[in-house]
């Protein structure tokens, strides 16, 4: 079934709050951000970027839904989902580098952290969406991508 807009939003929020947060916390541990303490603004950087990716993704989903209306079957092929993730990542990264995301300041080595964190989250959620998600939540597939 083709996901509805509400289904897209529910799926995006669910995956980013589960897999996204867990992977971001893992990278925070790997990059030693826990040693800085919660009072350091750099501590929250990866989680804030995840929040921006999620928020901007809600806007992107409006655009994707509009473009889907031009397809005869209103479906969004896997290749489009793959490219969509790359486009979203590039947009957030450019906004990040230009310091246009409030509360998140770009520094020299942040490109690698962003690439590893965003790339891992995107890659794992992409494959989760088309594999385990359909097995664990069978109603998700038949309810327009809605979990609730």
What confidence tens digit (pLDDT) does each residue in 97-129 have?
Answer: 999 999 999 998 899 999 999 999 999 999 998
Q: Mean pLDDT throughout 39-47? A: 89
From CA 43, how far away is CA 73, in angstroms rounded?
45
Task: Classify the phi-psi angles of 106: left when phi > 0, otherwise alpha if psi is within -120 to 50, otherwise beta.
Answer: beta
The pLDDT, as a whole number, for residue 1 is: 62
What b/e sequence results for 51-89 when a residue is b if at least 16 CB atoms lie within 10 Å of its CB, and e otherwise? bbbbeebeebbeebbeebeeeeeeebeeeeeeebbeebb
Cβ partners under 8 Å of residue 87, min gap 6: 60
pTM of the predicted protein model = 0.90
């Amino acid at each position: 079934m083709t996901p509805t807009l509400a289904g897209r939003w529910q799926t995006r929020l669910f995956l980013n709050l589960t897999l996204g947060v867990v992977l971001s916390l893992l990278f925070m541990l790997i990059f030693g951000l826990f040693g800085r303490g919660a009072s350091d603004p750099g501590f929250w950087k990866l989680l804030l970027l995840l929040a921006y990716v999620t928020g901007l993704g809600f806007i992107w989903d409006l655009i994707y839904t509009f473009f889907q209306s031009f397809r005869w079957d209103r479906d969004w092929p896997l290749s489009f989902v793959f490219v969509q993730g790359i486009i979203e990542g590039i947009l957030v990264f450019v906004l990040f580098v230009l310091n246009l995301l409030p509360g998140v300041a770009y520094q020299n080595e942040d490109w690698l952290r962003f690439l590893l964190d965003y790339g891992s989250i995107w890659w794992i959620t992409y494959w989760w969406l088309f594999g385990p998600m359909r097995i664990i939540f069978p109603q998700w597939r038949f309810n327009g991508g809605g979990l609730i």
